[in-house]
Structure 1
C-alpha cells in the first residue's frame, strides 16, 4: 500500500531518542515534589535541587516494566476497553469553560451541561469512555467541582472512568469513589479501572500537583496518560524535530516515574503539542503542525512499545461550521489511521479548548463512525466476489431487485445526520444545515438515556463521601 503520510525511519526515531537522552542526562528535568525527589535519590538518580538527571540505561530499565496494551475495566464488563497495539478508545473533549451555542454565541458551562455530556456518553456507540471535565461547570464551587463531576459520571454511566487529575487530592478522590464501585482500594491494585491525564509543564518541568497525580495513580496500578503540551516558538523550539526531542524527554521522564512508584503501572505516551501563532499570539490546534506532531508522537510511542495518546476532533473555529469539521476530520482520520490508542477531545471540541459544542459532538460522532467504517477490512474470498451473480445478471442487467441485494444491502453504511437527499427533497424538508440538524437531534438523543443499574448501597456510599468531603469531614 502507498501512504503519502511520512513514516519516520528507525534512524530518524533514534536521532530524536538520542537527543532526548542528551537532554535528560545533561540538562535534566525538574520535579517540584519532595516525595518524588526523595524517590529518585533513593533509587540512585543524580539530582541537583529539584532537578533530576536520567541516563539512557535508567530510561530503558523503566520501559522494561511497561505494557504495550492493557484493559481499563468498566463497572459494566461489556463496556471495558483495551488500549494499545491495534486497540484504541475515543473520549469527549474536556476543560472548556464555555458552551458554544447554536446561534454562534457562547455562555458559561453549568453542571447541567456536564450531566448532559454524561448522557451523551452513555447513549453513544462511538464514545468509549468519559468522566471528568467534559465542560467546566461554573455554577458550582471550583474547589469541589471535580467531586460533583465524578459522582455524576459514575452514577449516570457504566463505561470506563476518565479520572479527575487537576491535583493529587482530585486523583485520590477519584480513586476513593472508584474503590466504592470496585470493592475497595486494595482491589484497585488488581486491575486498571481509571485513567488520568498528566501534563508536563514545558520546558522540562512537572508541577508538584501533576507529579502527585502520577504517584497517586501509580500506587494503585491505575493508568497514567503522560502528555506534553508544547507550543512551538513559545514553550518549545520552533523547529518541529527539536520540539519532538524536547517533548520526548518530558514524556519519558514521566513514564519513568510511574515505573519507579510501581513497576507495571499502565502508562500511555501522549502529546497535544502545536505551534504558537505569531500573528495572533494564540495556541491554535487545528493546524497542519498539530497533525504532523500527532503522527510523529504515535510513531515515537511505538518506538518504545507504548500506547499513544493524541488529540481528536480539534479545531480553532468557534462554530460547528466548515472550518470546524474540516480541521476535526483531518485530525481524527489521521490519528485513528496512524494508530493512536487514546484519543482525547474526539467529540465536541471547539475554539482551541475555550468552548464545547453539543452540535459538534454529534457531528464528530458521525465522522468517527465513518472512519471506523472506512477501516473495516474487506473480506475478499471467492464467495464475497460472487462471480456467479455477476454472470447471472450479465451485460446491461440490473442488481436492484436481485436477491443478493435484498440480502446484503443493510451492510452498506447509512448516515445518522449527514444529508444524502437530493436537493428538492432536502429543500422540501426545511433545507437545514448540518449543524441545525444536529441541534434538532440533540434533545431526542438525550431522551434516549436510561440510568444504568447501580447497587443503591454503592450509590449511597458515593454520595456520602461527596457530602463529607464538601463539609470538610474527610
Structure 2
C-alpha cells in the first residue's frame, strides 16, 4: 500500500524500543503509590525511593501476557465492541471543564449537560462507546460526582462505557456499580465491561491517583488505556523522535505494572502527544505534529502486538469554524487510516480540551461516519462492476432512471 506518511522500518521501531529500554533501566520511572512499589519489589525490580528500574526481560515478559485484542461487554449484548487488530471504536470527548452553548458562549458545565451528551451517544449510529467525564459538572459535589457520572453512563446509554479512574477509591466505586449492573461483582471478574484512561505525568512519573486506579482496574480485569501526553518542548523533548522514545518508556512501564497485578489484564497502548505552542506555552492539539504522532503510535502498538489509542476530532479552535473542521478531520482521518483501535475525543472537543460543544459534537459525529465510510473497501465483484449495465446504457446514455440506480441509491452512498 502506498502512503506518503512515514512508515517506520523494523530497524527504526527497534531503535525506539532500545531507547525506551535504556531510559527504563538507567533513569527509571517514579510511581507515587506504596502498593505499586511493593508489587515491583516482590517481583524482583530494583526500587530506589519511588523510582523503579526496569530490565528489558521483565518488560518483554509482561508484553507476552497482554492481549492483542479483547471484548468490552455492554449491558445490551448487541452493542459489545471488539478492540484490537483490525477493529476500532469511536468515543466522545473527555475531561472538558466547560461547555460551549448554542450562542457560542463558554460556560461551566452542568450535570444536565453531561446527561444530554449521554443521550446523544445513545442515539448516535457512529459512536461505539460511551465516554467518561465528557464534561466536568460544576453543580455537583466533587467528592461524589464520579458516582453521578457513572450512573448516567449506565442508565442513559446501553453501549459499553469508560470507568472512573479519579482515584483508587473512585475506580473501585465504578467497579462496584458495574457489578450491580451485571448482577454481582463476581460476574465481571472475567468479563471486561469498562475501559479507563490512565495517564502518565510526564516526564517519567505516575501519580498516586492514576496508579491506584490502574492497580484496582487490572485486578478486576477492567481495561486500561496507559497513555502519555507529552508537550514537545515542554514536558518532553522538542524533537518528535525524542517524544516517541520517552512516551514509549512511560507507556511500557504502566503496562508492565498492569501485567504484574494480573497477567492477561486488557491494556491499550496510548498517546496524543503533540507540540507545545511556544508563543503561549499551551498544548497544540490542532498541530500537524499530533497527526504525525498518531501515525507512529499505531505502528509502535503493532510492534508490541497491543491495541492502540490516539487521535480524535481534536482542535485548538474555540468555536465550530473552518479551523475546527480542518484540524479535527485531519486527526480523525489519520487515526482511522493508521490503524488506531480506540479513538477517544472523536466528537465535541474545542479549544485544546477546554470545552465540549453540542454543535461540534454533531459535526464530528458526521465526520466519524464519513471516515468509517472512506475506509470501507470498494466492492470490485462482477456484480458491482456490472459490465452488462454499462454496455446496455452505452455511449452517451444516462443511468439516473435505470432500475439498479433506484434499487441501490439509498444504500450505496453515505449521503
Q: Same fold (TM over 0.5)?
A: yes
Conserved? CA contact 2:176–2:185, under 8 Å: yes
In 2, the alpha carbon distance for the partners of 1:380 and 1:333 equals 23
Structure 1 runs (4+) deviating above 6 angstroms are: none
The equivalent residue for 1:178 is: 178
Residue 161 (structure 1) aligned with residue 161 (structure 2): yes
Alpha-carbon distance in structure 2 between the residues aligned to 1:356 and 1:43 = 43
Deviation per CA, 1:354-392: give whole Å up to 9, x if none: 101000000001111011111111221222211111111
Matched, 1:88 2:88: yes
Would you say the 8 A contact 2:131–2:162 is kept in 1?
yes
CA distance in 1 between partners of 2:201 and 2:401 (Å):
62
- The residue number in structure 2 matching 1:365 is 365
Structure 1 unaligned segments of length 5 or more: list them: 416-474
Structure-1 separation of matches of 2:121 and 2:408:
30
Partner of 1:307: 307
Secondary structure (helix, strand or coil) at the match of 1:371 reads helix
Is residue 124 of structure 1 aligned with residue 124 of structure 2? yes
| Match runs of 1:59-208 below 5 Å | 59-208=59-208
Report how far residue 412 of structure 1 moved: 3.0
TM-score normalized with structure 2 length: 0.99
- Residue of structure 2 in register with 1:461 after alignment: none
Q: CA deviation at 1:131?
A: 4.0
Cα distance, 1:180 vs. partner?
Answer: 0.3
Kept in 1: contact 2:130–2:162 (CA 8 A):
yes
TM-aligned CA deviation for residue 413 of structure 1:
2.4
What is the alpha-carbon distance in structure 2 between the residues aligned to residue 161 and residue 8 of structure 1?
Answer: 33
CA distance in structure 2 between the aligned counterparts of 1:243 and 1:3, rounded to whole angstroms:
23
Q: Secondary structure at the match of 1:384?
A: helix
Q: Secondary structure at the match of 2:371?
A: helix
Q: 1:294: how far off?
A: 1.1
What CA distance in whole angstroms lies between the structure 1 residues aligned with 2:2 and 2:345? Answer: 29
- Paired residues of 1:90 and 1:343 also in contact (CA < 8 A): yes
In 2: Cα distance, 1:278 partner to 1:334 partner: 25
* Secondary structure in 2 matching 1:198: strand
The answer as to whether partners of 2:294 and 2:338 remain within 8 angstroms in 1 is: no
CA deviation vs aligned residue, 1:301-342 (integer Å, no higher than 9, x gap): 000000000030000001000000100000000000110001
C-alpha distance in structure 1 between counterparts of 2:62 and 2:156, whole Å:
38
Q: Distance in 2 between matches of 1:228 and 1:183?
A: 35
Structure 1 residues 170 and 386: CA distance shift in structure 2, 3 A: same
Are 1:36 and 1:211, in contact at CA under 8 Å, matched by a contact in 2? yes
In the TM superposition, 1:265-414 aligns within 5 A as: 265-414=265-414
- What residue number does 1:28 align with? 28
The question of whether the paired residues in 1 share the 8 Å contact of 2:311 and 2:334 is answered with no
Tell whether the 8 Å contact from 1:164 to 1:196 is kept in structure 2 after alignment: yes
Q: Which moved more, 1:196-205 or 1:277-286?
A: 277-286
What's the offset of the Cα at 1:411? 2.1
Which SS does the other structure have where 2:410 is aligned? helix
Given the alignment of the two structures, is residue 221 of structure 1 paired with residue 221 of structure 2, yes or no? yes
Could you tell me which residue of structure 1 aligns to residue 45 of structure 2?
A: 45
**3-state SS in 2 of match to 1:12:** helix
Give the whole-Å Cα distance in 2 for the aligned partners of 1:366 and 1:155.
Answer: 25
When normalised by structure 1's length, the TM-score is 0.86
Counterpart secondary structure, 1:410: coil
Q: Does the 8 Å contact 1:132/1:146 carry over to 2?
A: no
* Partner Cα separation in structure 1 for residue 66 and residue 314 of structure 2: 29
The higher radius of gyration belongs to 1
In angstroms, what is the RMSD of aligned CA positions? 0.9
How many residue pairs end up in the alignment?
Answer: 415
Are 1:131 and 1:149, in contact at CA under 8 Å, matched by a contact in 2? no
